[in-house]
Structure 1
Amino acid sequence: MAAYDEIADWYENQFLTSRRLPLGAPGRDPLDIDRTIRQLLGEGVGVCLEIGCGTGINAHVVRELGWVPVGVDLSVGMLGHALLRLPVALADAKRLPFRDSGIPAVVSVMVHTDMPGYPDIIQEAARVLEPGGVLVHVGVHPCFCGGFADRADPEAVVVRRGYLDRHWTTDSWTDQGLRDKVGAAHWSMPELLHAFLDAGLAVERFAEGGSPTPMVFAVRARRGPR
């Protein structure tokens, strides 16, 4: 994740400005990420592992729900900021440094487009989840975000050819975001949902966030009993 090492300070100090406002402050959560985590993860106890935790900006929401947040990421630069917010480990999400069936909850927040092998990562998350454990995925909306989607006018998102083409691109409608800097993998809605089913997880709930056209799509899935 060398690309994120290069932009870690920008990501923390400029890109995440709204997420660092006090809880409940106007404009703090324009994509409804906090709300979605609360809605789908819910209250609980024990470790909640965040895959691709970045700078750890989601830790306070997870902690507020009663969980103990722990994060993994491949970017040393991003983890340098995350250390101030939660315990972290430098690790590949395809080879999580945790034993089988030992973690009650896993979250993945706005990172699946950074992971070309995301279905394998869902499989790995299922491996470390304890029976009955929950996986919450919060990511950019497959239908309305990507190199094929022009969001320059929030009232009229233009979706061009490319939605059905699995690809990696740095095409972006803005130079103020991430994708022109680090690129993004695209998964169609069926491909994304099949990743949970193929990992043997039971899909329970869905959510969308952002308006007037959603930018976020979220899933709660659960590992079955042993």
Structure 2
Amino acid sequence: MGSLKSNDHDVPEEQMAPMAAYDEIADWYETEFLARTPGDGHPLSLGALLRDLLGEGEGEGSDGDTCLEIGCGTGVHAALVRELGWTPVGIDLSERMLRHARGRLPVAQADAERLPMRDESVPAVIAMMVHTDMPGYPAVLREATRVLQPGGTFVHIGVHPSFCGGFADFSDREAVVIRPGYLDSGYWTKESWTNKGVRDKVGAMHRPLPELLHAFLDAGLQLDRFAEGGAPTPLVLAVRATKPQPTGTAPA
């Protein structure tokens, strides 16, 4: 089982803004935003995607079944991770979000670009709706690869880069209009189609789909499966990737 430890590294300046923003909205997120969500703790009903891509662990409490959630927020996905037979642990930058998470799973306040875990220490890592919060997501993927055991699973579930962002006009949900801006890379915006969600409050980083997928490959992950969620236009893109076994090593 991977162990969490304290992290003495300074938080990068580009990550301070989202951390502070989530500190400011933590109570609203827990008491208002989540209160109007389905049972899986998210308005986009992510449970089915996570269940399908993460799969079953060996049973909570058994050796080697730890599932690390990067950017766990208030820990709303921990119950499903346990139901699937994994032992959830989480990290997040926002102390105020973690105040709500501590009753749901073991947590540590840490920078996702410097995970406080040993090399090859966990069999599974998940990132749920957080890549747009992380300007350094390619570095986060490299860290996830570092802490994963060979053959371990990484599950990314995030807003769909092709259909969600400041460039997307959702005035008509049956006919979403993609304005100029999708092809631009690496910009931060608070522009959102609704003032009742998270993005207009904390902003989001945009990367086009090819750039996002290349970041997985550049981190050394092998892409295994893909899924989309939301209708009639996909709002969520899910990816399952694996850390390859060393060459010449048979799977355990």
TM-score range (shorter-chain normalised) is over 0.9
1:6 aligns with 2:19: no
For structure 1, which runs of at least 5 residues remain unmatched after alignment? none
Alignment length, in residue pairs? 221
Deviation at 1:22, TM superposition (A): 4.2
Cα distance per residue 1:90-110 (max 9 Å; x no partner): 000000000001100000000
The equivalent of 1:178 in structure 2 is 198
Q: Any conservation in 2 of the 1:50–1:106 contact (CA below 8 Å)?
A: yes
Matched, 1:44 2:57: yes
Q: Which position in structure 2 is the counterpart of 1:215?
A: 235
Q: Look up the match of 1:193.
A: 213
The one-character-per-residue Cα deviations of 1:62-83 (angstroms, maximum 9, x if unpaired) are: 1110000000000011000001
1:32 is displaced (CA, Å) by: 3.4
Aligned to 2:129: 110
Give 1:151 deviation, angstroms.
1.6
Percent of paired sites with the same residue: 65
CA RMSD of aligned residues (A): 1.2
Q: Tell me which structure has the larger Cα radius of gyration.
A: 2
TM norm structure 1: 0.95
Q: CA deviation at 1:153?
A: 2.0
Shift of 1:214: 1.0
Write the deviation string for residues 146-201 of structure 1: whole angstroms up to 9, x where unpaired.
00001232111111000011111111111111111111000111011001100111
Separation in structure 1 between the aligned mates of residue 42 and residue 86 of structure 2, nearest angstrom: 21
Separation (CA, whole Å) in 2 of partners of 1:177 and 1:91: 25
Contact 2:34/2:42, CA 8 A, preserved across alignment: no
Matches within 5 A, 1:60-99: 60-99=79-118
Following superposition, the deviation at residue 40 of structure 1 comes to 0.3
Query: Are 2:176 and 1:163 equivalent residues in the alignment?
Result: no
CA distance in 1, matches of 2:171, 2:31: 23
Unmatched runs of 5 consecutive residues or more in structure 2: 1-18, 59-64, 247-252
Q: Secondary structure at the match of 2:68?
A: strand
- 4+ residue runs over 4 A deviation: none
The 8 Å contact of residues 205 and 221 in structure 1, kept in 2 or not, is answered as yes
Q: Provide closer, same or farther for how the CA distance between residues 86 and 94 of structure 1 changes in structure 2, counting only shifts above 3 A.
A: same
**Which string of whole-angstrom CA distances, capped at 9 and with x for unpartnered residues, describes residues 26-62 of structure 1?**
xx76523100000100001310000000000011111
- 1:62–1:86: structure 2 CA closer, same or farther, 3 Å change rule? same
* Counterpart code for 1:42: G
Q: 2:47 aligns with which of 28, 34, 38?
A: 34
TM-score, scaled relative to structure 2:
0.85
Query: Where does residue 225 of structure 1 map in the other structure?
Result: 245
Q: Is the 8 A contact 1:30 1:210 kept in 2?
A: no
Residue identity opposite 1:5 in structure 2: D
Cα deviation, 1:1-47, whole Å, max 9, x if unaligned, reads: 0110000011111111244x546xxxx76523100000100001310
Alpha-carbon distance between aligned partners in 2 of 1:119 and 1:219, rounded to the nearest angstrom:
15
How many Å separate the matches in 2 of 1:39 and 1:58? 14
